Structure 1
Amino acid sequence: MGKYLVLQTDFGLGDGAVSAMYGVAHMVSDEVVVEDLTHDIPPYDIWVASYRLYQTVKYWPKETVFVSVVDPGVGSERRSVVAKTKSGHYIITPDNGSLTHIQHYQGIEEIRTIDEVKSRLPHSEESHTFHGRDIYAYNGARLASGEISFEELGSVVPMESIETIGLVEAKSEKSILEGSIDVLDVRFGSLWTNIPLALMKEENIQHGDNLQVTIYHQGKKVYQNIMQFAKSFADVNIGEPLVYVNSLVNIGVAVNQDSFSDLYHIGTGTDWIIKLRKAPKIIFE
């Protein structure tokens, strides 16, 4: 078993919650290396939590244990689970949709349920609102340190019983590429879509081509413009929009040195649909 434990929460760093999770992990084993994915998931936003796991997990060594705690249902009847991905990583999380993107795009080999009564931090039985510390960080550290095996954490859960969030499939029809705006490049306000570069290549769209970009919110057109498919942000002037390939080799939309999301009030999720096509050539005489 690897010794890495990577934490993701919506807790922020304004109090001691994340530090308490670190402390529990180190009490289990001082050999576990605890790292952060992010603690800035928007409060209760399971969709973003799911996406950030998809964005990050495969870039860590095999057998790394991830703990993802975005848990609006803490203390309810929702299950706590541990998943073994097809890439050989482990994710401990509430069964509330946080595994959606990993399951869809990368695949899960097996899922087991964790007994929240028996498998928890000793003497925490009366606490029902901090499972991130008492169950997830505790069992994550046990798994990462080798104190307990994946199989020993609990019984197998049927894959079809896991909670998932609806996804929009990227597609190409009549030379129009369509997908969803899944998440923001938060600090810079760029839009990350689920349209893979492969679909652009199928339509013979190349760097330097001009594209017509149309964005819809709940079926209503809210933005349309023509912009360059750029290799880098430096290919366009400051303040100009562009289409580019993001770090997941999917298509992104941005404004050079500004926030596309803020400028045009664009959000994320399956209510936000984007369509791309080669722009018709305009000839000035």
Structure 2
Amino acid sequence: MCKALVLQTDFGLSDGAVNAMNGVAFSVDSNIPIFDLTHDIPPYDIWEASYRLLQTVDYWPKETVFVSVVDPGVGSDRNSVVVKTNSNHYIVTPDNGTLTHIQHKVGIKEARFIDEKVNRLPKSGASHTFHGRDVYAYTGARLAAHVIRFEEVGPELELSSIVTLPFIEPDKQQDQISGIIDILDVRFGNLWTNISRELFLSLEVLYGEQLEVTIFNDSRKIYKNIMTYGRSFADICVGEPLVYVNSLDNIAVAINQGSFAKAYNIGTGSSWRISIRKAPKIIYS
């Protein structure tokens, strides 16, 4: 029985690129169930591709095969790999940082180079700009359909050599917790941090209490304000800011029925830092 094949790219759906990948997979075995993670990754945004895999992988059955193609270095000497995660999922991708979140948060138990002499779409050898179709979709489909075993992907790769992007873990210093803006809840403009609910609650914060939130881009302060810690958006008025726990059990920041990211031009990644503490009490004499 074929395993599911889940595709992620920055290709969009305005041309035939994704459909061609589907066609390659279907040609390997028409019984492969093919699904889309997203094809709306911003062009060349390896960090977001990395995060979307983390957001999704653990909700799929074991041995599901993910193909992630955000590949600004296509045609260069960057490696093409397949990894097996500690959760027993497979990810087929360029080795360019796309595996950063998976490496740090899930773990990788084994990795292999893709041997393109064996695992490449027949008669595609002259093409060097569409490895998503010719190498990744083809290899992923062969793996999902059990045409090849993981060991037949290619030579084993040292896990220490996998390329990762700078990654900063959240921490607590006295009465303040710091982390990064890991990703945006894109459609609504909410900021999703890498601060876990468990770490956040070590501040002994209760729903309805006020928090001081500060956001930096590198060393430059972008935002500082007092806001409420709420259970949901219903806890505040429209247009007010809120700290809440998101669907991945991490801390997030939002404006009720507004885009926090657009309002303050906030980005994502390791250079975007956030700190949270209980709001200082003001004593009037």
TM range (shorter): over 0.9
The residue type paired with residue 90 of structure 2 is Y
What is residue 40 of structure 2 aligned with on the other side?
40
**Conservation of the 8 A alpha-carbon contact between 2:181 and 2:269:** yes
Aligned pair in 2 of structure 1 residues 225, 2: CA closer, same or farther (>3 Å)?
A: farther
1:61-210 maps to which residues of 2 (within 5 A)?
Answer: 61-210=61-210
1:215 match: 215
The secondary structure found in structure 1 opposite 2:157 is coil
Q: 2:246 & 2:159 partners in 1: Cα distance?
A: 30
Q: Does 2:32 correspond to 1:14?
A: no
Secondary structure of the 1:49 match is helix
Cα distance in 2 between the residues matched to 1:124 and 1:206: 59
8 Å contact kept, 2:229–2:244: yes
**Contact 1:2 / 1:63 at 8 angstroms: preserved in 2?**
no
1:242 match: 242
**Aligned-residue offset at 1:155:** 1.4
Q: Which residue of 1 aligns with 2:278?
A: 278
Q: Which amino acid in structure 2 is aligned with residue 156 of structure 1?
A: E
Q: CA shift at 1:44, angstroms?
A: 0.6
Alignment partner, residue 253 of structure 2: 253
State the aligned residue count. 285
RMSD: 1.2
Q: TM-score, normalised by structure 2?
A: 0.98
**Do 1:120 and 1:134's aligned partners in 2 also have CA atoms closer than 8 Å?**
yes
238-247 vs 117-126, which deviates more? 117-126
Query: Percent identity over the alignment?
Result: 62
Conserved 8 A contact 1:2-1:64? no
CA distance in 2, matches of 1:83, 1:115: 14
**Whole-angstrom CA distance in 1 between matches of 2:100 and 2:206:** 31
Letter in 2 for 1:164: T
Structure 2: tracts of 5 or more residues without a match: none
Cα offset, 1:254, TM superposition: 0.3
**Paired residues of 1:2 and 1:62 also in contact (CA < 8 A):** no
| Amino acid corresponding to residue 141 of structure 1 in structure 2 | A
Deviations 1:114-138 (Å, cap 9, x if unpaired)?
A: 0123310111111111000011001
Alpha-carbon distance between aligned partners in 1 of 2:65 and 2:71, rounded to the nearest angstrom: 18
Q: Please state whether the residue corresponding to 1:36 is helix, strand or coil.
A: strand
Gaps (5+ residues) in structure 1?
none
